Structure 1
Amino acid sequence: MPKLQLVTLISSNIPVDCHILKGRLETEGIDCFVFDENIVWVHPFRAVAVGGVKLKVPSHQFESATAILAHLKKGCLSDKKVEYKISEILNPEYERQQEVLRIKSVIRNNPVLLDKPAEIESWLLNAAEVAEIVEAEKEFQLLASKKLHFNWNDFFYELFDFDRDVFKYLRIRPVEYYLDKELVDRYNSHHDNESEVICPNCKSDNTKYGFAIDYKWDVLYLVLSLLVTTPFPLIRKKWHCFNCGHNFK
């Protein structure tokens, strides 16, 4: 039986990068193995010394894995018949989710609409889908109005009953409530920002200014770190697109 030979496909100082690509390749039937992950998690500053986290594949699958990686870099998915643009697949669903968040935002800013669903207009969703959102928002409003009730009788009961969980009184709303609230709040804060910057690569407005992922580490950073004998503060701020990963000025 021939010995299995592994070839490094990519290496990264961020272990999550390898795991994301590993999941994608495994859906295509590629066997993947992650090396040197633990040392990077435990000692991040030794990542460069060990060559980063490595994603390896069997040598006989290396060509197929490289082809899949090339498609991903172009923003494409492919099967045995045709190639698909990721943006063409995801953008319609993204627009749909944005419309759902918009309707939820409108209702929360004007709760009277819960009793007047016919006044809620949508260019993308049909009446049945809007009605479903209205019903979900009614449940949200009920949860939002709930208040903590914990009297002295409850206190003494919990004090002497060690098998019960006093924290259940504090969990008056499920975690889904807070997730939904945060999504709508983030939608509102994003659209309140008048200085939106469009990504020149994919035309998405899901961008943010900061330490762009691909430009954190460069020669100047390494030189300054060696001079001060400690990791130098991050430099090279740029705009980063969270839709396609492109960094730009």
Structure 2
Amino acid sequence: MNDRTVVYSTYYNPIEANIIKARLEDSGFSCFLADENVSTIQPLYNQAIGGVKLIVFERDVEAIDTLLAEDNSLALETSDDTVPGEEAEEGPVPCEKCGSKNVGYGMATDKKYSVWATILAFLTVTTPVKANKCYHCYDCGHEF
């Protein structure tokens, strides 16, 4: 038996990481999260440490892939919240630059504030209030 552990996936949202971890533990897989505490206590360090890492045994990777793929297909089949005339998304949005599916949606890091929010904050001597959101590729760092 192979008892090596591998980083199965990386999450920049600790809640999402805990949901996947709980799903795997409920199915009988041994796993744990690395860097969860740093990510939760200091969210600004999240990108520097590479996010919350889900660690699993190497021997379980194929079974976990199958389990999570089944969960994903069931979720897509049962979702009825699509608006007529719009197509449902088929899984995560791939990165425009590298094609990776390891993409999340959240606060922008590159162009965080719009020009108007920056000007308003400068005139009122405050910090900008409204931040931009975008997709972020965790593999190549591209924002779109």
User: Do 1:224 and 1:232's aligned partners in 2 also have CA atoms closer than 8 Å?
Assistant: no
Which of 114, 132, 137 is residue 235 of structure 1 equivalent to?
Answer: 132
Q: 1:231 to 1:34 in 2, by over 3 A?
A: farther
Mapped partners of 2:46, 2:29: distance in 1: 26
AA partner of residue 76 (structure 1):
L
AA partner of residue 105 (structure 2):
Y
The equivalent of 2:62 in structure 1 is 63
Shift of 1:11: 1.0
> What do residues 68-122 of structure 1 show as CA deviations (whole Å, max 9, x unaligned)?
222233x328xxxxxxx761xx88xxxxxxxxxxxxxxxxxxxxxxxxxxxxxxx
Which of 100, 106, 113 is residue 216 of structure 1 equivalent to?
Answer: 106
Shift of 1:4: 3.0
Q: Return the TM-score normalized by structure 2.
A: 0.57
The equivalent of 1:30 in structure 2 is 29
User: Do 1:15 and 1:53's aligned partners in 2 also have CA atoms closer than 8 Å?
Assistant: yes
RMSD of aligned alpha carbons = 3.6
Which of 55, 74, 77 is residue 76 of structure 1 equivalent to?
Answer: 74
Mapped partners of 2:109, 2:48: distance in 1: 13
Is 1:44 the counterpart of 2:30? The answer is no
Count the aligned residue pairs: 106
**1:104-115 to 2 correspondences below 5 Å:** none
The equivalent of 1:18 in structure 2 is 17
AA partner of residue 132 (structure 2):
I
Q: Return the TM-score normalized by structure 1.
A: 0.35
Shift of 1:233: 4.3
1:67 aligned counterpart, secondary structure: helix
Larger RCO of the pair (alpha carbons < 8 Å, separation 6+): 2
Q: Which has the higher strand share?
A: 2
2:131 aligned counterpart, secondary structure: coil
Mapped partners of 2:129, 2:18: distance in 1: 28
Gaps of 5+ in 1: 78-84, 92-195, 203-213, 238-249
**1:109-188 to 2 correspondences below 5 Å:** none
AA partner of residue 64 (structure 1):
A
Gaps of 5+ in 2: 90-103, 113-117, 119-126, 135-144
AA partner of residue 27 (structure 1):
D
> What do residues 206-233 of structure 1 show as CA deviations (whole Å, max 9, x unaligned)?
xxxxxxxx4324xxx32225xx9x9994
Percent sequence identity over matched residues? 26
Mapped partners of 1:26, 1:11: distance in 2: 17
